[in-house]
Amino acid sequence: MKLRIGTRKSTLALWQANKVAGELNSQGVETELVEIESFGDKVQDIPIDKLGDKGVFTKALDDALLAGEIDLAVHSLKDVPTVLPAGLKLTAVLERGNPMDVLVRPAQPKETEKRIIATGSIRRTAFWKNRFPENEVVGLRGNVPTRLDKVDSNDWHGAIFAAAGLERIGYEDRISETLDWMIPAPSQGIVGIVTREENDFEDFLAKVDHKESHLCGAIERAFLNELEAGCSSPVGAHALIKNGRLYFLGAVLSLDGTRRLDIEREILIDEASAAKGKEWAKLLKSQGAEELLDHADDE
């Protein structure tokens, strides 16, 4: 059996696809990488939230799957919409990497009068403004090496990155500070494998699937889905399993960070399911989360 693995062309995406290929190769499955350029990769001069939330980084691979041009697609799960196109499913995930956001400072930091932070994420923007309302936040797009170059060539205090992305492709030494107060994007740090609903290699993927990471990702994605929020929304969600218990943190913010709703829960692992994510999102909705998200869509 030889499986064609669809992937974006960035260094990080190729690392993730090769990681999946290695897991399958260890089971005696031959693999071939098929590089596909996404709409989000082609358009670099527009903020991500202005491109729409319907699979900016995933649609091209979804189309290739449905057309039978590839057998599976590998994604950063945080980029994958919570509702997949008809005929596709999230079949497996790898063990989660570091889920946290981190600050990267310029290689030669300069002390400036005004602290400027760069990020292309409205979630990160909202969390930063919530904590540091006096700071200026500017946009940042591009793959990891491109964004690092921009950090070093601008008079910024720093830029916000996903720790997992930096660690996976050898830039962990650029991490200046872990932002442990910033709740990650749902599924951040998880590599997801999407396939057609009907396939004849599910047994191989079941051996690759990391059950605890799959459960945590499912809860976080259900939380996002119930809020009817997209991958670019000012929503944070993080589920963690430890000592037989599941710990969950979730938050919805206004774009400017001035308003915020939080939820924190701890349950036995035996009680954990994706339905809990929906339940916890409904609690925030009853407190006005939808109003915050509606305002975010309007701005």
Q: Over the stretch 220-247, which tens digit does the pLDDT of each residue have?
A: 999 999 998 776 789 999 999 999 999 9
Q: Would you state the pLDDT for residue 114? A: 85
The tokens for 208 are: 């690759």
| CATH for the stretch 101-178 | 3.40.190.10
In the predicted model, is pLDDT for residue 85 greater than 90?
yes
Considering the domain delimited by 1-96+190-209, tell me its CATH architecture. Answer: 3-Layer(aba) Sandwich (3.40)
Query: The whole model's pTM is what?
Result: 0.91
In the predicted model, is pLDDT for residue 56 greater than 90?
no
Q: Would you state the pLDDT for residue 181? A: 98
Q: How many residues does the chain have?
A: 299
In the predicted model, is pLDDT for residue 49 greater than 70?
no
Report percent pLDDT > 90 for the chain.
85
Question: Which one, of 46, 50, 45, 15, lies nearest residue 33 by Cα?
Answer: 15
Q: Parallel, antiparallel, or unpaired for β 191-196 and 88-93?
A: antiparallel
The CATH superfamily assigned to 211-299 is: Porphobilinogen deaminase, C-terminal domain (3.30.160.40)
In the predicted model, is pLDDT for residue 133 greater than 70?
yes
* Cα separation, 237 vs 248, whole angstroms: 7
In the predicted model, is pLDDT for residue 50 greater than 70?
no
The amino acid sitting at 91 is T
* Cα separation, 148 vs 270, whole angstroms: 42
If DSSP codes are grouped into helix, strand and coil, which group holds residue 20? helix
Task: Flag the least confident range among 33-37, 44-48, 246-250, 260-264.
Answer: 44-48
Q: Parallel, antiparallel, or unpaired for β 260-268 and 235-242?
A: unpaired
Query: Is 79 tagged catalytic?
Result: yes
Q: Would you state the pLDDT for residue 297? A: 55
Start-end of CATH 3.40.190.10 domains in the chain? 1-96+190-209, 101-178
Q: Would you state the pLDDT for residue 53? A: 54
Which band of pLDDT confidence, cut at 50, 70 and 90, is reported for residue 51?
Answer: very low
**Cβ atoms of 116 and 156 closer than 8 Å:** yes
Catalytic residue among 49, 79, 173, 298: 79
Start-end of CATH 3.30.160.40 domains in the chain? 211-299
